[in-house]
Amino acid sequence: MLAAEREGTNWRFRSFLKRVDLELEELDAIVYRHYEAVSKQIDCTSCYNCCCEVIPSLDQDDVGRLASGLGFSTEDLTKRLLAPDEDGDLSFNKKPCPLLTENLCRAYGHRPKACRSFPHLDKGEFGFRLGRAVHNCSICPIVFNVYERLKNEPWSTHDEGFREEWE
């Protein structure tokens, strides 16, 4: 897989991004611009890698919405499909997601907030989530492509030694 081949480079580029002279808001705007462009080209519902690899935390609103959408009581949903994670939050009890059926989410309209917002590239403070972004390159084609586009931003021409540093 291409993401695995570029993992070392991606981690070095992450280190560069942590040092680059750029305000957080400016980096967020650049990431969001690329996210907007890439997400228009990739249909999330045709991928489902996140459903196979990520176990989201659910809050009580998520549990209630999901239970209602599936026709379960919150207690029944919790007993059947959820378990406390290492932080004590509720999450799905297995991977791939137990709601994934024939590569589709059977509760797509009622899915948890963490699922709705994945891959989280439209959130602020991307600079504080770089490690998660590098990890998500191997899960989500949108993240992979946004990260690759970031490598071609104008800052790569500011320093002659830049590319040698992270390639």
Instruction: Summarize pLDDT for 12-23 with one digit per residue, the tens.
Output: 999 989 888 888
% of the chain at pLDDT higher than 90: 77
The pLDDT mean for the chain works out to 91
Closest CA to 112 of 70, 167, 156: 70
159: confidence class by pLDDT, cuts 50, 70, 90: low
Beta strands in 62-144 (DSSP E): 82-84, 90-92, 100-101, 104-105
Among 1-15, 91-105, 119-133, 137-151, the least confident range = 1-15
The position carrying tokens 């196979």 is 52
Among candidates 145, 119, 158, 161, which has minimal Cα distance to 10? 145
Q: Above 80 in pLDDT, residue 165?
A: no
Least confidently predicted of 28-32, 34-38, 112-116, 155-159:
155-159
Are 66 and 60 contacting, i.e. CB atoms less than 8 angstroms apart?
Answer: no
